[in-house]
Chains A and B, each alone.
Chain A
Amino acid sequence: MQIEERYDVVVVGAGHAGCEAGLACARLGCETIVFTVSADSIAMMPCNPNIGGSSKGHLVREIDALGGEMGKNIDKTFIQSKMLNSSKGPAVHSLRAQADKQWYSREMRKTMEHTEHLTIKQAEVSTLIVEEGVIKGVTTVSGARYLADAVILTTGVYLKSRCIYGDVSEYTGPNGLKAANYLSESLLACGIELRRYKTGTPARIDGTTIDYSKMQEQKGDCKIVPFSFETDPASIQKEQVSCWLTYTNEETHRIIRENLDRSPLYSGNIKGTGPRYCPSIEDKVVRFADKDRHQVFVEPEGLYTEEMYIDGMSSSLPEDVQDAMYHSVPGLENSKIVRNAYAIEYDCIDAQQLKSTLEFKKISGLYAAGQFNGSSGYEEAAAQGLIAGINAAKHVQGKDEIVLDRSEAYIGVLIDDLVTKENFEPYRMMTARAEYRLHLRQDNADQRLTPIGHRVGLISDERYERYLKYMENVESEIARVKSTFVGQTEEVQDFLRSYESTELKSGATLAELIRRPELSYEAIAAIDPGRPEGLSERVGEQVNIQIKYAGYIDRQMRQVEQFKKMEKRRIPEDFDYDLVPSLRLEARQKLKKIRPSSIGQASRISGVSPADVSVLLVWIKKEKAEKNDAE
């Protein structure tokens, strides 16, 4: 007799998306089971050994502000931390931490194991059970049935995955883990369209065979800033390990050029679409032929091993070419490769099949997140996993699902880009993708999202109270510096001179002084005797940012207002585009395929013109009015 069990939610995959999804569901009270092909590989980092970086660091902060786990987990397990762009404005400050990969994985597993309502199961899910457009559960290869009201697909790169270098091609997942070979057929049978993407990873090299004297040392920051708003900065100041910088050279490029014909990418053996960013080294040499060298960062995989990750040199060239190529790089001349670089191909979907809630349009209760949706990166995956998890739980509980819009979060930009736009390569987050970047900062992720996280149920009352207290401090301090005047006293003028700042001709508020480029909230402490004691550093930072950049931020907020209006104009789910006169053919086809939920989303579809949007607006108004009349 086959096993049959009942859960509220089934999560297929335990990578960064699956972990957040499973945790969110369980924490919201749903009985949840998370399937993985290997229980030893939960939250595995099969590629780069770091979390965060430009725009990705923002995502981690947002995940944390909503009550997700990634920020807390990396705060426990990082071995080096750096704030990128710290000389720039606050909107592009980005935190990045090197992780100890195994430690990261173990801590996440531990957290999941100790979460109520959460079960981990090592088994390969092979089919979806769908009845009349509604998900009912899954079955595994053994025939066991797991019934559920919601299923979340977070299969990462494991669907029919194939690892390739040179002529060698193996049907496995990353790191030789088992691929999931059955589920794709079931998805196709359910009417889900699949596409094939590819990505790659560089070699890992034995650190004891590397000559670091030929490389530049890259140290972490002296003052470590945590990812999680809940982590006490004092608790994580620690000894850090270094990364190392070296470069490719003409010799490296010659080796690559001479062997291009043996690359599976160029021979046509790889059919999947790879990203233009994060290109393989052979791609870089071809596409940027004028560059005589490329950066190579040598980064530790963790404290548990001497293995080093060779960042910047991913490849799918044959083994012997890889050997020669890595050995041509200064410091790696006599090194030993532990694991070869390889490309990996996998099945995934065009996320235009999803709603903004990450639920499939065609199958009620079926959600998807992560690389399966055509994104790349741990952080992008985790962000989607969290939203899919929250919405699956809400679906099960019959409550309102959440959609973050482009003005609220990078998460909103990410998901909107995935479900609305045409994507032809694995999608990577970038701050340039966010229209309201000055507002979507990593320092205010809590202001943007913690109230939402609290409403959803992932932020505890205690944490929310702490947040409110913090905001109260920020606001009263802003009010104080705006209303506190300083006169032209000798002390003030001396102070200004010491900062090469223009002396006062008449009285000024503290806020006006903070706005001067050469001054800051921190700097003017010397002439601000009334400053309340015991304010945290974060309060000071926030006051400084909100005063100093008010002009730009206010302008952006006005644009946000405009944007919100169009987002609020909803398009009914069953809207019939064929009835609308004058829509251009291309627009009609795209609208029918994507079925945008708002006029705002419709306007972002390529091929839908402002005139089409006008026409839609008029027609929706008409239908709505007619409906009201009928009632």
Chain B
Amino acid sequence: MEKTIAAISTGMVPSGISIVRMSGPEAFDIADQVYHKKNMQPCDTGKKPLFHKMKSHTIHYGFISDGKNDIDEVLVSVMKAPHTFTGEDTIEINCHGGMLVAKKVMEILLKKGAKAAEPGEFTKRAFLNGRMDLSRAEAVIDVIDAKNEFALKASLSQLKGSVSEKVSKLRDEILDEMSFIEAALDDPEHYDLGGFGEELQEKIKPVQAEIKEMIRRADYGSVMAEGVKTVIAGKPNAGKSSLLNILAGYEKAIVTDVAGTTRDVLEVPVMLKNISLILMDTAGIRDTEDTVEKIGVDRAKEALDEADLILYVVDSTVGVDKEDQKVIRSLPESAKVIFVLNKTDLASGKDVNVDLKEYNGREENNVVCFSAKTREGLTELEDTITSLYNAEELTYNDQVVITNARQKALLFETEEALSMVITGIEDGMSEEFLVVDLMNAYTALGKIIGEEVGDDVVSRVFEKFCMGK
């Protein structure tokens, strides 16, 4: 049976409608798992088959849900084989604009069993199923070729450095475990697997944890799926809430002249040129005796620890004082930081800038002069944020999005395989069963960095273990 494939088939232009297309024998079954009609609840999703009963070439209004919450209000087109582009059962989900929603929908389809389409795969299927003129064979090959080249470049450019290094490292650890098991299964009189299950569990759990963390953090992935967690921080009354309100475009935080007004963490989702920010306004950080304010300060510190991006607001009229220095030095290294010198309508930020370089200690020193009152520097701030997250590339380069969805789906696959390993160990399965899932994890990780499995295990066994009597 042919696998069912899915992809975001529209380019990622701002606003408008995005279409997620799915094709293959299980397209209707998978659609049943994610769609419900208006008069149903998200939890009803998947309870009864809908799409097989629908007429071909019809459009249906409803919702895509993850089983608990609705993700989007959608129109779904149903097209039955063989009268479709690919010649297979096809579903097209029209969702609201922006890549975020489309990506969410895509991710859900992948979770329910669809595979992310290879570059050019819809066209290839159309051709193989006789839906395309034979004279176009060469054109089809060109499409596959071009898209492959492009996808390769796109994925390579994203994978330079840390991600691919990490994937390789985790993969290597899995390979080591497999090769020990294989050595022992091949030569049981020499290598003993007694009690190895527990040992393996201890070794696999951290690998699994790292994969989970990668899924959560997956640089671009999490940026697009959840939004950049952006914490606005700074001393009381530096103008944090004003900045939030300007970025959010409406008054969400209460702005007063009394220092210490904001006592909880406010979260506001904001789209900035198709980068989704989750803006968090925090209580100004200072030592305080006020119990309520103290809670606010603690929460602010927690928020900082989880931030992807920190907008640190400094009052230019005051400059960087000791309290600022302390906070700046303790900002988490995992987050990117932009210093916003507020109130530049009242004072020049030049001297402050020099000080910041010293306390910051990061390679990049992003500083934007800004005035909440005159809104001067707002464009510069927006540009600085988007440039940090390569917004242009994300916006107009659909291949990057698709490769990323693929990669994230592969991480999910890896994680699932590793949990199966752990379940297997807990069920007391013998090691050759565990290898099945270890191998699945190894294969999925390999696909992320474009490595095939080949004879890796056998080679590693011969390399590391003294085999054969």
Residues of A within 8 A of B (CB): 48, 54-55, 84-85, 87-89, 91-92, 275-279, 284, 287-288, 291, 294-295, 297, 311-312, 421, 428, 430-433, 437-438, 517, 549, 552, 555-556, 561-562, 565, 580-582, 606, 610-611, 614-615, 617-619, 621-622, 625-626
Of A91, A295, A517, A618, most buried by chain B (CB within 10 Å of CB) is A618
**Are B128 and A431 within 8 A (Cβ)?**
no
Q: What CA separation (Å) do A498 and B432 show in the bound complex?
A: 29
B432 touching A622, Cβ below 8 Å: no
- Please tell me if the beta carbons of B430 and A621 are within 8 angstroms of each other in the complex: no
Q: Tell which of B120, B121, B141, B454 has the most Cβ of chain A within 10 Å.
A: B141
Question: Nearest Cβ distance between residue B342 and chain A, in whole angstroms?
Answer: 53
Contacts beyond the supplied A88-B185, A279-B466, A622-B137: 17 A-B pairs with Cβ under 8 Å: A84-B189, A275-B468, A277-B467, A312-B469, A431-B182, A517-B428, A552-B436, A606-B454, A614-B118, A614-B121, A614-B124, A618-B127, A618-B128, A618-B137, A618-B144, A621-B128, A626-B134
- Asked if A617 and B134 sit within 8 Å, CB to CB, the answer is no
Chain B residues whose C-beta falls within 8 Å of the C-beta of A84 in the assembled complex: 188-189
B188 CB, min distance to chain A CBs, angstroms: 5
Cβ contact of B466, chosen from A48, A284, A297, A614, cutoff 8 A: A284
Q: In whole angstroms, how far apart are the Cα atoms of A288 and B465 in the complex?
A: 8
Whole-angstrom distance from the CB of B2 to the nearest CB of chain A? 8
* A289 vs B464: C-alpha distance when bound (angstroms): 12
Q: How far is the CB of A359 from chain B (nearest CB, A)?
A: 25
Contact B431 A88 (CB under 8 A): yes
**A294–B466 CB distance below 8 A:** yes
Report A-chain residues with C-beta under 8 Å of the C-beta of B3. 562
* Assembled-state Cα–Cα distance A91/B433 (Å): 9
Query: Once bound together, how far apart are the Cα atoms of A284 and B189, in whole Å?
Result: 17
19 A-B pairs within 8 Å (CB atoms) are namely A85-B185, A89-B429, A89-B430, A277-B467, A278-B467, A278-B468, A279-B466, A279-B467, A295-B190, A431-B186, A437-B432, A438-B436, A552-B433, A555-B436, A582-B145, A611-B145, A611-B148, A615-B141, A618-B141
In the bound complex, residues from chain A placing their C-beta under 8 Å from that of B430 are 87-89, 92
From residue B155, how far is it (CB to closest CB) to chain A in Å? 13
Contacts of B433 in A (CB 8 A): 89, 438, 549, 552
- A581 contacts across to B, CB distance below 8 A: 138, 141-142
Question: Please, which residue of chain B has its CB at the minimum distance from the CB of A283?
Answer: B466
- In the assembled complex, the CB of B365 is this many whole angstroms from the nearest CB of chain A, namely 43
Structural contact, A618 and B432, CB atoms closer than 8 A: no
Interface segment, one of B265-273, B316-324, B455-463? B455-463
Contacts of A275 in B (CB 8 A): 468
**Which 8 A-B residue pairs are closest in the complex by CB-CB distance?**
A278-B468, A622-B137, A276-B462, A432-B182, A277-B467, A88-B430, A517-B428, A89-B430
CA distance A278 to B462 in the complex (A): 9
A432: which of B134, B138, B457 is its contact (CB, 8 Å)?
B457
Set of chain A residues within 8 Å of B469, measured between Cβ atoms: 48, 278, 295, 297, 311-312
Output the nearest chain B residue to A278 by Cβ-Cβ distance: B468
Q: Which of B398-425 contact A (CB under 8 A)?
A: none
In B120-160, the 8 Å CB interface with A consists of 120-121, 124, 127-128, 130, 134, 137-138, 140-142, 144-145, 148
Report Cα–Cα, A22/B76, bound state, in Å. Answer: 65
Query: Nearest chain-A residue to B178 (Cβ)?
Result: A432
> In this complex, which of B2, B186, B427, B467 has the most chain A Cβ atoms within 10 angstroms of its Cβ?
B186
Please give, as numbers and ranges, the residues of chain A lying within 8 Å of B380 by CB-CB distance: none
Given A277-B468, A295-B190, A622-B137, A617:B432 Cβ within 8 A: no
| Alpha-carbon gap, A312 to B466, bound state (A) | 10
Do the beta carbons of A430 and B128 come within 8 Å of each other? Answer: no
Residues of B within 8 A of A562 (CB): 1, 3
The chain B residue with its CB closest to the CB of A54 is B186
Separation of A410 and B455 alpha carbons in the complex (Å):
16
Most A CB atoms within 10 A — which of B142, B148, B461? Answer: B148
How far is it, in angstroms, between the C-alpha of A92 and the C-alpha of B337 when the chains are bound?
56
Q: Do the beta carbons of A617 and B458 come within 8 Å of each other?
A: no
B429 touches A618 (CB 8 A): no
Does B141 contact A92, Cβ atoms closer than 8 Å? no
Nearest Cβ in chain B — how far from A622, in angstroms?
4
Question: Which chain B residue has the least Cβ–Cβ distance from A604?
Answer: B454
B383 interface residue, CB < 8 Å from A?
A: no
Does chain A have a CB within 8 A of B187?
yes
Q: Given known contacts A433-B458, A621-B127, A622-B137, is B468 in contact with A279 (CB within 8 Å)?
A: yes
Q: How far is the CA of A433 from the CA of B461 in the complex (A)?
A: 11
Chain B residues whose C-beta falls within 8 Å of the C-beta of A555 in the assembled complex: 436
What are the residues of chain B within 8 A of A430 when measuring CB–CB? Answer: 182, 186, 458, 461
Which chain B residues border A294 with CB–CB below 8 Å?
A: 466
Q: How far is the CA of A277 from the CA of B190 in the complex (A)?
A: 13
Q: A55 CA to B187 CA in the complex, in Å? A: 10
**Contact A625 to B436, CB < 8 A, known contacts A297-B469, A582-B145:** no
Inside 8 A of A614's CB, which chain B residues have their CB? 118, 120-121, 124, 144
Bound-complex Cα distance A438 to B2 (A): 23
* Inter-subunit contact A295/B436 (CB<8 Å): no
Q: Which residues of B contact A428 (CB under 8 A)?
A: 468
- In the assembled complex, the Cα of A311 lies from the Cα of B124 at a distance in Å of 55
In the docked arrangement, what's the CA distance between A432 and B185, Å? Answer: 9
Cross-chain contact B118 with A610 (CB below 8 angstroms) = yes
Q: Within the complex, what minimum Cβ distance (angstroms) separates A374 from chain B?
A: 15
Which residues of A lie under 8 Å from residue B141 when comparing CB positions? 580-582, 615, 618-619
Out of B1, B128, B432, B467, name the residue touching A88 (CB < 8 Å). B432
In the bound complex, CA of A291 to CA of B121 (Å): 51
Complex formed: what's the CA distance from A625 to B127 in Å? 11
Contacts A295-B190, A421-B455; A288 near B127 (Cβ below 8 A): no
Across-interface contacts of A517 in B (CB, < 8 A): 427-429
Do B188 and A615 have beta carbons less than 8 Å apart?
no
The residue in A48, A288, A615, A619 that gathers the most chain B C-beta atoms within 10 A of its C-beta is A615
* B31: min CB distance to chain A, Å: 21
In the assembly, what is the distance between CA of A312 and CA of B429, in Å? Answer: 31
Answer whether A561 and B1 are a contact pair too, CB < 8 Å, given A615-B144, A618-B128.
yes
Contact A277 B462 (CB under 8 A): yes
Beta-carbon nearest neighbor of A433 in chain B:
B458
Give, as a whole number of angstroms, the nearest-CB distance from A360 to chain B: 25
Which residues of the partner chain A approach B188 to less than 8 Å between Cβ atoms?
A: 54, 84-85
For residue A432, which residue of chain B has the nearest CB? B182
A555 to B417, CA, bound (A): 13
A565 to B430, CA, bound (A): 30
